[in-house]
């Protein structure tokens, strides 16, 4: 295309400085057109950023088909917004151009002409568009740099999560999402027609990650989809989400896991700040302080409820009886104020709020915890029951029958070390890093009760 | 546990050399017991390897419940196979012990006692066990070091795949597995009850990865499950598998993709050789030569069929009319012999064998390819149709209607660069690196027509 090797937008200022007499070639999507009659300024986007093309009228693209857009949609050179073009020309520094440089175009080719009935304004202000509009036009809204930035950050979250765990002897696993039933219990399962029977989509890899600890792998992680058939539609729920799962053997209590998650999140925040400065800037967001994250406070459940209730009452709010969304918000504010940490852990959850596999620390409490970050629960975890006899004894308390739990039984029956783990909701973490209003914004193609396309 | 900080099995030879008078503590699963009356030799496994414990009779564990195993199942100290124990004692070098060292135990604790009705011989020779036995006892068979080695290699494959692509400006994406229909067409789809409607499990992220290229991300990859409701049960098929997917924009032809895959696989093989030497040794396997992989030959479809047919006929075999499993085997042998490469590409696949989105190079052929490795197709890929008009024109040839393809239409209608990609079957690649007889062995919890547990 256009005869010479492609440069990226981010390389143009350098080329303007080092070889202003040579020609460069760029290609990308037409982001903005300013038509001045005899001359057009066309900004194009590629994966690295944006660069401005300066097009004299002499540089013509073949005429656009169909009705022309209103002013600003078609250049005098016949280019439409969102078309993919390549352009050759001389690079020149220009402080006023995006990225600080532009190209004096000598030749232009339209590689893929965008039809002029564009249903979504890609170069508009994403902050002013409603969530439904953004999601209804997902293929186009993802072209908006601010929206695509969300997924650059998400890629860093996944990379940093995986790299940090590998450096600590964790092995990545991939487990089945088609399961015979829910490990969490409850009715919130999607059913799949699997040949001549019904199976379910996994709510979490809970059983499998415990199985892999017991297999001797000891320390495992998985990045994979998880499914919840919850009917409610809130800014904090998705019916399909990416779960960042961890499980490890030979722990003493949930404090080993909290210590692990502090270090892990500190690393993720550090990497996000380092690699995604431009993405964060588009959202006017800052990654949390890694040092404070590494020392995030831990509050026992009962104390946390009392604390949240007291703060709420002092502000004229309602009393609080459990760790509800309002309590999560209050506790994060408290932690930020008192400890400089936007992350806070609540441990010692009551047995009645936790599944059968939570390890009891006494008759009423478990060694399990939540992590709250910037007002939202992003993690549930804890030590698990590893003792076969205690497991068998516990089942009736949860209305479960041993004959229906044979896989779990087999897991614990032949040598299983004390272990535990947790899961981080990838979309929730991404959303809270950037300050998104809804977790759906942090899912490329979110699934909710009414949305299954695109 | 046992009072002092845990060491791993791999650290014991070093400890025996540097501080033979200090005590160490190890914990893990009881792999083998040799009871010599007054003294027992107990080999334990942890995530890092194995170490031998030397147990004088004086060191007793509490008695095992239930009927004792036959000789070799319980030590004179009362320990059962597969129990999780921790042991403290002095490290000593011993050339005859696994790993070259042992521990003279002074204290022992049983952390989790394995029941003595162990239904699978974990310390047996996995090579002598049938696939069904291995999979029927999956929770225990995964404890066998040779079997677990498969998944150490798989973790490296995934890590190396991701790292190499990131270093080339690819962004990791996570897309929905709940889709409104199959992009590949056909009836091999699993249906999901999604609230008040039916959706399908994605056969591949084909549409989504193309959408992300068109979004301006340009270069994307995904590691995620994919689903095929194929009824046949063969050593090369899984109904749920991990797909290593790649898509990139601004390519000229499938040769750009083949060049990419050569480099990518060379890197994966190099990393496997570097990180998994012990795992490969357990399978008497060697990773392919990276340099030859990077220069793997490319043969056009028609030529490849003729070549395979000729070689088959010369060996007294049947004539060959397409790239069937026998042709895949023959072509790989040919490539290894002629080029030293265990990887070979077949390109220019006929249009009739490829989906609607394959980019035609002429009336009958497409810019698409397969990668064959050690006798098995591990990749299908190619350049895609990016031109909206050509797409609309092509649909009727494939029995497709534009009104049912609105998402694809939207993807191409507003500026889409020339692009293409491919997918590598993670289990197939792992299986061929190690020489496994069935791809099911390379899936932690494989799903086939009859198997949905554990």
In chain A, which residue's Cα lies nearest the Cα of B144?
A215
Indicate whether B66 pLDDT > 50.
no
| Superfamily of segment(s) A140-442 | Bira Bifunctional Protein; Domain 2 (3.30.930.10)
Contact A139 B407 (CB under 8 A): yes
In chain B, which residue's Cα lies nearest the Cα of A7?
B250
Q: Let me know: does B26 contact B87? Beta carbons within 8 Å.
A: yes
Q: Does A223 touch chain B (CB under 8 A)?
A: yes
**Best CA proximity match to A154, nearest among A246, A28, A280:** A280
Per 3-state DSSP, chain A is made up of helix, strand and coil in percentages (nearest 5) of: 35, 25, 40
From the list B140, B207, B214, the residue facing A414 with the nearest CB is B140
Please give the pLDDT value at position A38.
Answer: 85
Q: Does B278 touch chain A (CB under 8 A)?
A: no
Please give the pLDDT value at position A71.
Answer: 40
DSSP code at position B366:
B
Candidates B216, B250, B275, B449: best to mutate against A (most CBs of A within 10 A) is: B216
Sort out which chain B residues have CB atoms less than 8 A from A215's CB and list them: 139, 142-143, 148
Rg of chain B on CA atoms, in Å: 27
Beta bridge partners, B192, equal A192, B199
Sort out which chain B residues have CB atoms less than 8 A from A208's CB and list them: 444-445
Confidence of residue B70 (pLDDT cuts 50, 70, 90): very low
Edge-to-edge strand ranges of the sheet holding A191-194: A178-179, A197-201, A191-194, B191-194, B197-201, B178-179
Contact A171 B151 (CB under 8 A): yes
Question: Which residues, including other chains, have CB under 8 Å from residue A71's CB and lie 6 or more apart?
Answer: A35
Query: Left (φ > 0), alpha (ψ -120 to 50) or beta: where does A131 sit?
Result: alpha
Taking the C-alpha atoms of residue A355 and residue A398, their distance in angstroms, rounded to an integer, is: 8
From the list B47, B158, B415, the residue facing A218 with the nearest CB is B47
CB atoms within 10 A of CB B190: 20
CB-neighbour burial class of residue B2 (10 A; exposed 0-12, middle 13-18, buried 19+)? buried
Max Cα-Cα span within chain A: 84
Indicate whether B393 pLDDT > 90.
yes
The stretch A22-31 carries a mean pLDDT of 97
In chain B, which residue's Cα lies nearest the Cα of A173?
B155
Please give the pLDDT value at position B3.
Answer: 76
Confidence of residue A70 (pLDDT cuts 50, 70, 90): very low
Indicate whether A3 pLDDT > 80.
no
Instruction: Give B306's Cβ-side CA count (13 Å radius).
Output: 5
Confidence of residue A184 (pLDDT cuts 50, 70, 90): low
The stretch A351-372 carries a mean pLDDT of 96
Edge-to-edge strand ranges of the sheet holding B240-249: B171-172, B219-227, B240-249, B419-425, B376-384, B368-373, B343-347, B298-300
Contact B195 A447 (CB under 8 A): no
> B243-296 pLDDT, tens per residue?
999 999 999 999 999 999 999 999 999 999 999 999 999 999 999 999 999 999
**Best CA proximity match to B367, nearest among B354, B344, B348, B386:** B348
Contact A452 B179 (CB under 8 A): yes
Query: Counting one residue from A and one from B, how many pairs have CB atoms under 8 Å apart?
Result: 249
Average pLDDT value over all residues in chain B: 93
Average pLDDT value over all residues in chain A: 93
Q: Let me know: does B385 contact B391? Beta carbons within 8 Å.
A: yes
Candidates B10, B47, B223, B231: best to mutate against A (most CBs of A within 10 A) is: B47
Bridging pattern class, strands B191-194 and B197-201 = antiparallel
Sort out which chain A residues have CB atoms less than 8 A from B387's CB and list them: 112
Residue B345 to residues B161, B289, B312, B407: CA-CA distances in angstroms? 19, 16, 19, 31
The stretch B443-452 carries a mean pLDDT of 95
CB-neighbour burial class of residue B132 (10 A; exposed 0-12, middle 13-18, buried 19+)? exposed
Task: Give the global pTM.
Answer: 0.96
| Superfamily of segment(s) A6-112 | Nucleic acid-binding proteins (2.40.50.140)
| Domain segments of chain A as ranges | 6-112, 140-442
Indicate whether A78 pLDDT > 90.
no
CB-neighbour burial class of residue B148 (10 A; exposed 0-12, middle 13-18, buried 19+)? buried
End-to-end CA distance of chain B: 31
Sort out which chain B residues have CB atoms less than 8 A from A112's CB and list them: 386-388, 412, 415-418
In chain B, which residue's Cα lies nearest the Cα of A205?
B445
Dihedral pair phi/psi, residue B233, rounded to 5°: -120, 100
Beta bridge partners, B44, equal B30, B51
Q: Let me know: does A13 contact A19? Beta carbons within 8 Å.
A: no
Edge-to-edge strand ranges of the sheet holding A298-300: A171-172, A219-227, A240-249, A419-425, A376-384, A368-373, A343-347, A298-300
* CA B250-B253-B256 angle, 5° bins: 75
> B353-369 pLDDT, tens per residue?
999 999 999 999 999 99
Based on DSSP, count helices (H) and strands (E) in chain B, helices before strands.
Answer: 13, 17
Please give the pLDDT value at position B57.
Answer: 77
Question: Which residues, including other chains, have CB under 8 Å from residue B70's CB and lie 6 or more apart?
Answer: none
Taking the C-alpha atoms of residue B305 and residue A348, their distance in angstroms, rounded to an integer, is: 66
**Best CA proximity match to B31, nearest among B88, B86, B82, B68:** B82
Candidates A30, A415, A416, A442: best to mutate against B (most CBs of B within 10 A) is: A415
From the list B30, B48, B445, the residue facing A175 with the nearest CB is B445
Distance from CA of A304 to the nearest CA of B (A): 31
Taking the C-alpha atoms of residue B56 and residue B38, their distance in angstroms, rounded to an integer, is: 6
Beta bridge partners, A39, equal A56
Q: Does A234 touch chain B (CB under 8 A)?
A: no
Q: Does A32 touch chain B (CB under 8 A)?
A: no
Q: Does A125 touch chain B (CB under 8 A)?
A: no
The stretch A79-88 carries a mean pLDDT of 96
The stretch A135-154 carries a mean pLDDT of 97
Please give the pLDDT value at position B71.
Answer: 39
Rg of chain A on CA atoms, in Å: 27
Dihedral pair phi/psi, residue A42, rounded to 5°: -120, 120
Taking the C-alpha atoms of residue B155 and residue A225, their distance in angstroms, rounded to an integer, is: 18
From the list A112, A214, A217, the residue facing B417 with the nearest CB is A112
Please give the pLDDT value at position B185.
Answer: 54
* CA B359-B362-B364 angle, 5° bins: 90
Sort out which chain B residues have CB atoms less than 8 A from A178's CB and list them: 239-240, 447, 452
Indicate whether B184 pLDDT > 70.
no
From the list A47, A197, A410, the residue facing B217 with the nearest CB is A47
> B110-146 pLDDT, tens per residue?
999 999 999 999 999 988 999 999 999 999 999 999 9
How many residues would you count in chain B? 454
Please give the pLDDT value at position B396.
Answer: 94
Taking the C-alpha atoms of residue A221 and residue A224, their distance in angstroms, rounded to an integer, is: 10
Bridging pattern class, strands B240-249 and B178-179 = unpaired
Q: Let me know: does B374 contact B329? Beta carbons within 8 Å.
A: no
Q: Does B113 touch chain A (CB under 8 A)?
A: yes
Taking the C-alpha atoms of residue A410 and residue A405, their distance in angstroms, rounded to an integer, is: 9
Taking the C-alpha atoms of residue A91 and residue B289, their distance in angstroms, rounded to an integer, is: 43
- Percent of all residues in chain B with a pLDDT value above 70, rounded to a whole number: 94
Sort out which chain A residues have CB atoms less than 8 A from B162's CB and list them: 159, 162
Sort out which chain B residues have CB atoms less than 8 A from A27's CB and list them: 250, 417
Please give the pLDDT value at position B1.
Answer: 54
What ipTM does this complex have? Answer: 0.96
Q: Does A190 touch chain B (CB under 8 A)?
A: yes
Please give the pLDDT value at position A69.
Answer: 40
In chain A, which residue's Cα lies nearest the Cα of B136?
A407
Q: Does B253 touch chain A (CB under 8 A)?
A: no
The stretch A410-418 carries a mean pLDDT of 96
Indicate whether A172 pLDDT > 50.
yes
Q: Let me know: does B354 contact B368? Beta carbons within 8 Å.
A: yes
Residue B217 to residues A47, A85, A153, A428, B381: CA-CA distances in angstroms? 5, 16, 13, 22, 19
Q: Is A373 helix (H, G, I), strand (E, B) or coil?
A: strand
Distance from CA of A352 to the nearest CA of B (A): 26
CA A12 to chain centre: 31
Question: Which residues, including other chains, have CB under 8 Å from residue B95's CB and lie 6 or more apart?
Answer: none
Taking the C-alpha atoms of residue A95 and residue B276, their distance in angstroms, rounded to an integer, is: 52
């Amino acid at each position: 295309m256009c005869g010479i090797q492609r440069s990226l937008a981010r390389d143009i200022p350098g080329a303007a400085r080092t070889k202003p007499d040579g020609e460069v070639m760029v290609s990308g999507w037409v982001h903005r057109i300013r038509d001045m009659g005899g001359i057009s300024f066309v900004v194009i986007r590629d994966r690295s950023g944006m660069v401005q093309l300066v097009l004299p009228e002499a540089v013509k693209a073949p005429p656009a088909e169909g009705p022309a857009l209103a002013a600003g949609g078609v250049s005098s050179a016949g280019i439409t917004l969102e078309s993919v073009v390549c352009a050759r020309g001389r690079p020149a520094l220009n402080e006023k151009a995006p990225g600080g440089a532009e190209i004096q175009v000598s030749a232009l080719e339209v590689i893929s002409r965008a039809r002029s009935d564009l249903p979504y304004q890609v170069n508009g202000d994403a902050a002013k568009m409603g969530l439904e509009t953004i999601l209804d036009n997902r293929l186009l809204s993802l072209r908006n740099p601010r929206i695509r930035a969300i997924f650059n950050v998400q890629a860093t979250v996944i990379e940093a999560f995986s790299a940090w765990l590998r450096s600590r002897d964790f092995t990545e696993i991939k487990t089945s999402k088609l399961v015979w039933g829910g490990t969490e219990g409850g009715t919130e399962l999607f059913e799949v027609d699997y040949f001549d029977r019904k199976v379910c989509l996994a709510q979490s890899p809970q059983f499998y990650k415990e199985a892999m600890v017991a297999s001797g792998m000891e320390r495992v992680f998985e990045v994979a989809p998880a499914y919840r058939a919850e009917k409610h539609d809130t800014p904090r729920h998705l019916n399909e989400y990416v779960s960042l799962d961890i499980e490890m053997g030979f722990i003493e209590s949930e404090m080993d896991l909290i210590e692990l998650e502090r270090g892990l999140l500190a690393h993720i925040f550090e990497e996000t700040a380092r690699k995604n400065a431009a993405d964060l800037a588009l959202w006017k967001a800052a990654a949390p302080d890694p040092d404070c994250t590494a020392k995030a406070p831990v509050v026992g459940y009962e104390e946390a409820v009392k604390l949240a209730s007291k703060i709420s009452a002092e502000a004229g709010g309602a009393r609080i009886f459990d760790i509800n969304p309002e309590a999560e918000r209050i506790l994060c504010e408290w932690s930020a104020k008192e400890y400089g940490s936007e992350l806070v852990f609540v441990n010692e959850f009551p047995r009645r709020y936790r599944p059968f596999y939570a390890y009891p620390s006494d008759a009423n409490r478990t060694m399990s915890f939540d992590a709250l970050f910037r007002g939202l629960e992003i993690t549930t975890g804890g030590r698990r029951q590893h003792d076969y006899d205690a497991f068998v004894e516990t089942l009736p308390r949860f209305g479960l029958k041993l004959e229906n739990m044979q896989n779990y039984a087999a897991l614990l029956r032949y040598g299983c070390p004390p272990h535990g783990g947790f899961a981080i909701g990838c979309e929730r973490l991404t959303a809270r890093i950037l300050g998104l209003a809804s977790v759906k914004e942090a899912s490329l193609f979110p699934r909710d009760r009414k949305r299954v396309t695109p």
